[in-house]
Chain A
Amino acid sequence: QSALTQPRSVSGSPGQSVTISCTGSSSDVGGYDHVAWYQQHPDKAPKLVIYDVTKRPSGVPDRFSGSKSGNTASLTISGLHPEDEADYHCASFAGGYVIFGGGTELTVL
């Protein structure tokens, strides 16, 4: 199984919006509504910020939103805060197993 494709890095200034893409295939992203996004700060465990494409766990700010079109899912962070600087990983159910993306480093300038 091939990893999902994410940009290696994105950046934005405080207050701006950024979108991170996650491209798979009809066997994973395009075939199921089980796409999740995880935020990971250095030397910390990942934290779930979006699941089932668009749902936000309790406690996650509504600045974080998710969407999907065809085989590509996206995470948008609106009104960037300095603490949003982290790595972001997408994951998709692929019918009995899970595939991750390579991760995207978000820099808040």
Chain B
Amino acid sequence: QVRLQESGPGLVKPSETLSLSCTVSDYSINVGPFWGWIRQSPGKGLDWIGTISQSGTTYYSPSLRSRVTISVDSSRNQFSLKLTSVSAADTAVYFCVRDIGGGTADYWGQGTLVTVSS
């Protein structure tokens, strides 16, 4: 069983950087194969942000690529998301996931709501 838990600020000001971490439990992050982030704006559908492979290769949504960075900290069994220059449109519940390939997310964190507001 793989457990994932998101953490980070629930409120971010416009134009600033959103930073979230995901702690993986009961499973080594080095096994992978991929770790990723998906978000869901209130009342809307799911929006894929990106993934990182166990070797550190990243894959990002074309619409967010210029603002997104996903990285892994193996020593803490965590991976993280940074999204720069946020606006109200980035307000969403952010989920961290394990991706088994082909974009398939088989384990999900519970999600954390991030609101962008001044």
Contacts and interface: CB of A to CB of B under 8 A. Distances in A.
Given A45-B109, A45-B111, A48-B104, A1 B46 contact: no
Interface of B: 44-48, 50, 59-63, 95, 100-106, 108-111
Determine chain B's interface SS by DSSP, over half rule.
loop
A91 B103 contact: yes
Interface stretch (A11-19, A65-73, A77-85, A96-104): A96-104
B102 A34 contact: yes
A36 B46 contact: no
B62 A97 contact: yes
Report the interface size class on chain A.
20 to 34
Interface in A3-29: 3
Contacts of A3: 45
Interface of A: 1, 3, 32, 34, 36, 38, 45-48, 51-52, 57, 89, 91-93, 96-103
A86 B86 CA distance: 31
Contacts of B47: 100
Given A1-B61, A48-B104, A97-B103, 9 more contacts: A38-B46, A51-B102, A57-B106, A89-B46, A91-B46, A91-B48, A97-B59, A98-B61, A100-B48
Contacts of B104: 34, 36, 48, 51-52, 91
